[in-house]
């Protein structure tokens, strides 16, 4: 008996949103990576000076009276873990057609994103660093300001994803997966910023 | 089976039934073909500006004591000339052609994220306009007006973001809208667009990061980056070889595609062509170091090797890209039954010019030639950018049936191509010779113009004027074909035996 073969189904196209978000994340990583590379270059080339007790020679990079608030920066780093979990929870809920939990997860993601923006501003206020004296100040505000702008773009992405789900497009799993990917990428970038700028200084 | 998602075809937001609506439709463009035409038209304006500016600077440099324009404006003129060559012409040139051609080569109804791409176009246009305004206001690198300098950085940053947005749209199009076809089975041009745009996605943010640093420093402390005097050195890699190869890499794809068409044979060693084009992506690493890598013989063999390795990576390896593509195009001609395909001529000549520019840069970077800081580098840049423009004309001529549903007359295409070729050689070669005569770069006054130098600068000016003429000739050919040519969607150059 001859069984006619079934015709091929329509080709499943890879998600444009996911791929474009991956490119955007790559671009953002390249941006932050290049800025951190220049930071490291400037720090390596900073002249030497005697330490406060005169016991050793240290890089004249971060002035002795500048204190980097480590609690705020560490809290931001830990918060990024939470934001990734929430973004992934949104993907998980959407795949199970659980609209209310998807909305809740995206709302929390956006709220945590706003909290990150708030924490960065609080960190600026705590430091009270001027922007007129040396290379450290210029590079500090440029790197962290750019990171702040990228976090803000993540918050906007969360609100857009939330709005889409709220408006009924809860079956767009690719958008939520792309949204989660962007937050993962932002977390990776902040990890690098946190280590270079706030830990190594 | 080819699946075309007709529901995703984007249309302009504005209703174009009235005159106001037609204008608004261009501003709210959400159609990839219209966007491509916008890109090409704007690049044409920039190319004309470059040619006229190049001619003016050539005439100005014929006599270093006489000044056609105020000597104080020379800094801005050179700054604008470099910006126009790279960010005005080279960067958006193949973005425009790709928006016109790539979706149809992929059997896709439209490009991905056309609105993002259109946003990118307007960002690039607005940023470039801000750069021009800044230059006029005594800004730009080396400018004397603080507001003008900040305006220049703002414009450059906006233009970079614009190019980035369009590149993301195109890269996503190639990766997600192939409708089941493999990348290997797609046109070589499509692959070259993917290589170019992916590279731009990685290098443009590096330039943006530098611009952010420069702006924060200039607007505040001015202690880290050396103010306006050193500004151009921080972003020099963006406007110089080998990075410019990334902008014009699709010209290699045009030649790779047309080589097989002209030879009427399936491209022999097709994988080699893909490898050749892919090699142009190595220039991405030039953005990583953000500095030039000259080769100098050191005191010890270790020093010499230490200088040779980065030099070879940044200046010799990229040379292989056009070299391999040219060699395999010639191999195709040898293996097949070649015929005269008019668009092949500008594509071949264009890639040849790009190769000449890259060879020039490799020679310039050998320390013992003492060519750094001379006008030699300008010659190499002109070779690459004008060569890219020739390659782009080849693409427009070949795919004219897909773009306008008209065939460009072969004789006219050949005429414009040969004029363009003469223009490139005349505009760039004298700079190579003048470089060996130690004519300084980016200076139009206060240097020794004795001997051949005056004549060489005059020849270069003539070359730029010839390029302006070639551009206008190309525009006339396209307009005449559109107004008088028969409507057809059949490409007369495609034959059954060629499978791209």
Taking CB atoms and an 8 Å limit, are A23 and B113 in contact across chains?
A: no
CATH code at position B450: 1.20.210.10
Tens digits of residue pLDDT in A16-27: 899 999 999 999
- What is the per-residue pLDDT for B5? 42
Position B18 in a domain: no
- Give the closest of A23, A27, A35 to B172, CB-based: A23
- Write down the residue that tokens 């704007």 correspond to: B42
Chain B neighbors of A192, CB-CB under 8 A? none
C-alpha closest to that of B325 among B271, B282, B362:
B271
**How sure is the predictor about B163, in pLDDT bands with cuts at 50, 70 and 90?**
very high
What value does the mean pLDDT take over residues B361-385? 93
Taking CB atoms and an 8 Å limit, are A24 and B209 in contact across chains?
A: no
DSSP-based three-state secondary structure for B359: helix
ipTM metric: 0.89
The answer to whether residue A120 scores a pLDDT higher than 90 is yes
- What is the per-residue pLDDT for B485? 77
Length of chain A: 201
- A119 or B181, greater pLDDT: A119
Position B23 in a domain: no
Are B312 and B230 a contacting pair, CB within 8 Å? Answer: no
Chain B neighbors of A31, CB-CB under 8 A? 205-206, 208-209
**How sure is the predictor about B3, in pLDDT bands with cuts at 50, 70 and 90?**
very low
Give how far the C-alpha of residue B204 lies from the chain's centroid of Cα atoms, to the nearest Å. Answer: 14
- What is the per-residue pLDDT for B497? 46
What value does the mean pLDDT take over residues B404-415? 91
The answer to whether residue A62 scores a pLDDT higher than 70 is yes
- Numbered residues of chain A with Cβ closer than 8 Å to any chain B Cβ: 8, 10-11, 13-16, 19-20, 23-24, 26-28, 30-32, 34-35, 37-38, 42, 131-135, 137-139, 141-142, 145-146
Q: What are the Cα distances from residue B239, in Å, to B174, B204, B233, B236, B410?
A: 27, 12, 10, 5, 34
Tens digits of residue pLDDT in B34-44: 999 999 999 99
Taking CB atoms and an 8 Å limit, are A23 and B223 in contact across chains?
A: no
- The parent domain of residue B141 ranges over 6-11+30-484
Q: Is B483 on the interface with A (CB under 8 A)?
A: no
Taking CB atoms and an 8 Å limit, are A34 and B1 in contact across chains?
A: no
Tell me which residues of chain B, numbers 204 to 243, contact chain A at a CB-CB cutoff of 8 Å.
204-206, 208-210, 212-213, 216-217, 220-221, 223-225
Position B373 in a domain: yes
The answer to whether residue B238 scores a pLDDT higher than 60 is yes
Position B492 in a domain: no
The dihedral formed by the CA atoms of B24, B127, B43 and B380, expressed in degrees to the nearest 10: -170
- What is the per-residue pLDDT for B54? 94
Chain A neighbors of B205, CB-CB under 8 A? 27-28, 30-31, 34
Position B499 in a domain: no
**How sure is the predictor about A48, in pLDDT bands with cuts at 50, 70 and 90?**
confident
The answer to whether residue B4 scores a pLDDT higher than 80 is no
Position B310 in a domain: yes
d(CA B161, CA B265): 41
- What is the per-residue pLDDT for B129? 95
Q: How many domains does chain B have?
A: 1
- A68 or B251, greater pLDDT: B251
Chain B neighbors of A132, CB-CB under 8 A? 220-221
Chain A interface mutation, best of B198, B213, B243, highest count of A Cβ atoms under 10 Å: B213
Position B473 in a domain: yes
The answer to whether residue B8 scores a pLDDT higher than 50 is no
- Bridge partner residues of A59 (DSSP): A48
d(CA B333, CA B261): 9
DSSP-based three-state secondary structure for A48: strand
Share of chain B above pLDDT 70, in %: 95
Position B497 in a domain: no
- What is the per-residue pLDDT for A132? 75
List, in sequence order, the alpha helices (H) in chain A: 16-44, 70-95, 99-127, 135-166, 173-193
- Give the closest of A14, A138, A146 to B176, CB-based: A14
- What is the per-residue pLDDT for B142? 82
């Amino acid at each position: 008996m001859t069984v006619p073969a079934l015709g091929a189904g329509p080709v499943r196209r890879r998600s444009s949103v996911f791929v474009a978000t991956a490119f955007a994340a790559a671009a953002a990583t390249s941006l932050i990576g290049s800025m951190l590379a220049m930071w490291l270059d400037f720090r390596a080339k900073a002249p030497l000076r005697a330490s406060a007790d005169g016991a050793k020679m240290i890089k004249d990079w971060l002035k002795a009276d500048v204190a980097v608030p480590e609690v705020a920066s560490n809290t931001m780093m830990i918060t990024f873990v939470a934001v990734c979990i929430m973004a992934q929870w949104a993907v998980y809920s959407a795949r199970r057609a659980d609209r209310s939990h998807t909305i809740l997860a995206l709302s929390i993601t956006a709220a945590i994103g706003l909290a990150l923006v708030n924490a960065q501003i609080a960190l600026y206020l705590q430091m009270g660093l001027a922007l007129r004296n040396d290379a450290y100040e210029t590079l500090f505000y440029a790197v962290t300001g750019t990171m702040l702008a990228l976090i803000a773009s993540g918050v906007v992405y969360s609100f857009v994803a939330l709005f889409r789900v709220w408006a009924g497009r809860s079956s767009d799993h690719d958008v939520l997966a792309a949204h989660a990917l962007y937050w993962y990428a932002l977390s990776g970038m902040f990890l690098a910023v946190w280590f270079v700028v706030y830990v190594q200084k | 089976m080819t699946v075309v998602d007709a529901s995703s075809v984007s249309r302009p937001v504005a209703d174009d039934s009235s005159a106001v609506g037609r204008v608004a439709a261009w501003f709210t463009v959400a159609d990839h073909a219209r966007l491509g035409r916008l890109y090409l038209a704007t690049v044409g304006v920039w190319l004309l500006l470059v040619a006229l500016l190049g001619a003016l600077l050539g005439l100005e440099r014929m006599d270093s004591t006489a000044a056609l324009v105020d000597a104080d404006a020379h800094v801005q003129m050179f700054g604008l000339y470099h910006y126009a060559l790279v960010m005005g012409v080279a960067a958006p040139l193949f973005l425009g052609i790709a928006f016109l051609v790539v979706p149809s080569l992929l059997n896709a109804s439209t490009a991905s994220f056309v609105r993002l791409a259109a946003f990118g176009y307007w960002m690039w246009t607005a940023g470039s306009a801000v750069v021009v305004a800044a230059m006029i206001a005594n800004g730009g690198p080396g400018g004397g007006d603080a507001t003008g300098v900040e305006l220049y950085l703002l414009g450059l940053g906006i233009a970079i973001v614009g190019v980035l947005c369009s590149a993301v749209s195109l890269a996503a199009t190639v990766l997600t809208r192939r409708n089941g076809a493999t990348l290997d089975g797609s046109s070589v041009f499509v692959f070259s667009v993917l290589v170019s745009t992916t590279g731009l996605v990685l290098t443009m943010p590096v330039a943006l990061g530098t611009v952010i640093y420069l702006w924060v420093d200039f607007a505040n402390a001015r202690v880290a980056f050396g103010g306006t005097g050193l500004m151009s050195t921080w972003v020099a890699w963006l406007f110089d070889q080998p990075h410019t190869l990334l902008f014009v890499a699709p010209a290699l794809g045009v030649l790779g595609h047309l080589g097989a068409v002209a030879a009427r044979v399936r491209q022999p060693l097709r994988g080699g062509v893909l490898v050749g084009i892919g090699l142009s992506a190595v220039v991405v690493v030039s953005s990583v170091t953000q500095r030039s890598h000259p080769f100098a013989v050191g005191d010890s063999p270790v020093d010499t090797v230490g200088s040779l390795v980065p030099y070879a990576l940044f200046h010799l390896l990229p040379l292989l890209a056009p070299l391999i593509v040219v060699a395999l195009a010639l191999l195709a001609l040898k293996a097949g039954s070649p015929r005269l395909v008019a668009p092949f001529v500008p594509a071949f000549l264009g890639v040849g010019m790009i190769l000449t520019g890259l060879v020039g840069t490799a020679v310039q970077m050998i320390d013992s030639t003492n060519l750094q800081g001379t006008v030699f580098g300008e010659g190499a840049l002109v070779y690459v950018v004008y060569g890219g423009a020739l390659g782009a004309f080849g693409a427009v001529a070949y795919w004219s049936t897909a773009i306008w549903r008209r065939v460009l007359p072969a004789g006219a295409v050949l005429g414009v191509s040969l004029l363009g070729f003469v223009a490139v050689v005349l505009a760039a070669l004298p700079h190579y010779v003048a470089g060996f005569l130690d004519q300084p770069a980016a200076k139009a006054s206060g240097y020794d113009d004795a001997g051949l130098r005056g004549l060489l600068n005059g020849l270069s000016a003539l070359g730029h004027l010839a390029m302006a003429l070639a551009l206008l000739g190309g525009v006339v050919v396209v307009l005449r074909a559109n107004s008088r040519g028969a409507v057809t969607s059949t490409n007369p150059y495609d034959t059954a035996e060629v499978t791209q």
